[in-house]
């Protein structure tokens, strides 16, 4: 599997299906627990068995699934969930980070609310798309898939959401302001820079008409931090 420009691996359906995370972790000898196919399939089965109602399967997206879903879907709607908020709370040394330059990823953590999008999967594609989605989101067990109620323009629907697994070793319950800024400013791995993950998410939420004010402010602070580090010769920007 060859990297793209700059040694980065663009996240595609083909690479997910081919087990790119396992390959990268094994090649680099990273101390990351990777779930087996059997464990991932068991998680998917358990989630579907807990399906609260009949009808199409929906997935709530709040981060990179918004701007790079990699799954086929029938339609997409703006949605809002309550009881969880979008938060940079997952330390990564694999996708947007490395052992030398760890990054941060988003998770749905307890409290507040979150606006994003809901994808409705076509029945004929549902099994294949969910299997692909699980091999993207659940490969390290850092998330806990839950059925949450989401408000869409025409009412309420149930959707699968990947909430953070608070018992996971890389879950960041508390981060100082400087720690968060530094990890987002300097984190970089096979999938690219942590700051670009932040910028892309903020930009696409804004484009959808559901800007996240806190994310926008964080993006500006990370840009300033990167400029400071570049001026000090610590970071090549």
Active site members:
137
Q: What angle do CA 96, 98, 99 make, to 5 degrees?
A: 150
Distance CA(116)–CA(107), nearest Å, equals 13
Cβ distance 119 to 61 under 8 Å?
yes
Cβ distance 174 to 91 under 8 Å?
no
Cβ distance 58 to 158 under 8 Å?
yes
Q: Give 7's DSSP letter.
A: G
Paired tokens of 79: 């949605």
Q: What angle do CA 89, 94, 99 make, to 5 degrees?
A: 90
Distance CA(75)–CA(168), nearest Å, equals 32
CB atoms within 10 A of CB 1: 11
């Amino acid at each position: 599997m060859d990297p793209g420009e700059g040694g980065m691996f663009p996240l595609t359906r083909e690479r997910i299906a081919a087990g790119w995370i396992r390959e990268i972790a094994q090649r680099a000898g990273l101390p990351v627990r990777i779930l087996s196919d059997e464990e991932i399939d068991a998680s998917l089965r358990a989630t579907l068995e807990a399906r609260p109602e009949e009808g199409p399967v929906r997935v709530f997206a709040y981060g990179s699934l918004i701007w790079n879903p990699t799954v086929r879907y029938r339609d997409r709607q703006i949605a809002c969930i309550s009881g969880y908020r979008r938060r940079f709370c997952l330390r990564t040394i694999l996708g947007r980070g490395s052992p030398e330059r760890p990054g941060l990823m988003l998770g749905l953590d307890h409290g507040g609310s979150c606006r994003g999008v809901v994808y409705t999967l076509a029945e004929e594609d549902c099994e294949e798309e969910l299997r692909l989605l699980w091999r993207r989101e659940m490969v390290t067990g850092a998330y806990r898939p839950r059925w949450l109620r989401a408000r869409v323009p025409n009412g309420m629907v149930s959707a699968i959401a990947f909430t953070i697994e608070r018992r996971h070793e890389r879950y960041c319950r508390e981060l100082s302001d400087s720690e968060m800024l530094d990890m987002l400013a300097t984190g970089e791995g096979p999938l690219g820079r942590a700051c670009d993950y932040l910028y892309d998410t903020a930009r696409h939420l804004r484009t959808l008409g559901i800007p996240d004010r806190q994310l926008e402010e964080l993006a500006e602070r990370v840009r300033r931090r990167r400029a400071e580090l570049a001026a000090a010769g610590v970071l090549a920007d």
